């Protein structure tokens, strides 16, 4: 009887430990999501996963990173700079995404209203094993711009807020833009100061020149007056 109770307690303890371990493995945010494994990263906002033994391209919803290679979309991102600059920024964004997801990593997909785009790619919010959303991590750390394509708009406000904060703090790709903005501000301040100084110097020179001119005119006038007086005195003496 005692032996049976001991066996029962051991079994109960084993089940309890197993239950706790299994609960610790799954993040609450990833429950009821589609589980897949990462194959590789294509771009800052596109990855390839293995689903049902097949490779599936997954386009991250709501975020748009610069292109990492030359294509037609580079021309649509010219606000970031010329083609070479866009690709440079795109490579940085891709590198950041690759730092978060690596081949073989388990990820979880959450779909919105539309699950695939016209190219056949899956459209999803991708969650990492620790519960963080990949889409949000990319844009909050300054490596993407918001891209809202209705009806997939579940987290659009959150993404926009993250984007604004990243720009204001100069995170990720925007650090370079922040440094450039500071340079422009300092350059503008120095330029305006230089212009004001040159203008002041020019006005001062003109003022001094005018004063000197007036002074010389006064001297010449006084000289002429004195000369006339000397002539008058000389004539008077001759007449006397």
C-alpha torsion 54→55→56→57, nearest 10 = -170
Which position has the token pair 């897949």?
A: 36
67 included as an active-site residue: yes
Could you tell me the two tokens for 127?
Answer: 């969650």
Q: State the Cα–Cα distance between residues 55 and 42, nearest whole angstrom.
A: 12
* CA–CA dist 137, 157 (Å, integer): 15
CA torsion sign, 162 to 166 to 168 to 173?
negative
Question: Of 35, 116, 121, 132, which one is the catalytic site residue?
Answer: 121
Structure tokens at 226: 């004195």
Residue 137 and residue 47 in contact, taking contact as beta carbons nearer than 8 Å:
no
First to last CA, the chain: 165
Q: Is 121 a catalytic residue?
A: yes
- Chain-centroid distance of CA 226 in Å reads 78
**Residue 147 has which token pair?**
């891209």
Alpha-carbon span 73 to 45, nearest angstrom: 13
Integer angstrom CA distances of residue 204 from 91, 108, 175, 198, 210:
55, 73, 43, 10, 10
Beta bridge pairs of residue 57: 48
Q: Which of 56, 59, 110, 137 is catalytic?
A: 59
Catalytic residues: 59, 67, 121
């Amino acid at each position: 009887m005692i032996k049976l109770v001991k066996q029962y307690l051991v079994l109960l303890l084993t089940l309890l430990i197993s239950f706790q371990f299994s609960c610790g493995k799954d993040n609450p945010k990833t429950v009821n999501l589609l589980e897949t494994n990462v194959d590789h990263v294509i771009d800052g906002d596109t990855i390839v996963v293995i689903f049902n033994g097949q490779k599936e391209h997954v386009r991250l919803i709501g975020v748009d990173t610069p292109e990492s290679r030359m294509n037609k979309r580079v021309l649509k991102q010219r606000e970031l700079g010329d083609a070479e600059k866009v690709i440079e920024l795109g490579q940085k964004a891709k590198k950041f995404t690759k730092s978060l997801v690596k081949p073989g990593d388990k990820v979880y997909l959450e779909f919105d209203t539309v699950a695939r785009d016209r190219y056949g790619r899956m459209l999803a919010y991708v969650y990492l094993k620790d519960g963080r959303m990949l889409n949000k991590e990319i844009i909050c750390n300054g490596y993407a711009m918001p891209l809202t394509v209705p009806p997939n708009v579940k987290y659009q406000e959150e993404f926009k807020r993250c984007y604004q904060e990243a720009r204001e703090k100069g995170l990720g790709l925007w650090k370079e833009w922040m440094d450039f903005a500071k340079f422009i501000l300092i350059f503008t301040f120095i330029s305006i100061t230089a212009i004001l100084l040159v203008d002041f110097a020019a006005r001062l020179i003109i003022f001094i020149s005018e004063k000197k001119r007036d002074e010389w005119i006064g001297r010449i006038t006084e000289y002429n007056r004195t000369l006339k007086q000397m002539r008058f005195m000389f004539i008077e003496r001759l007449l006397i």
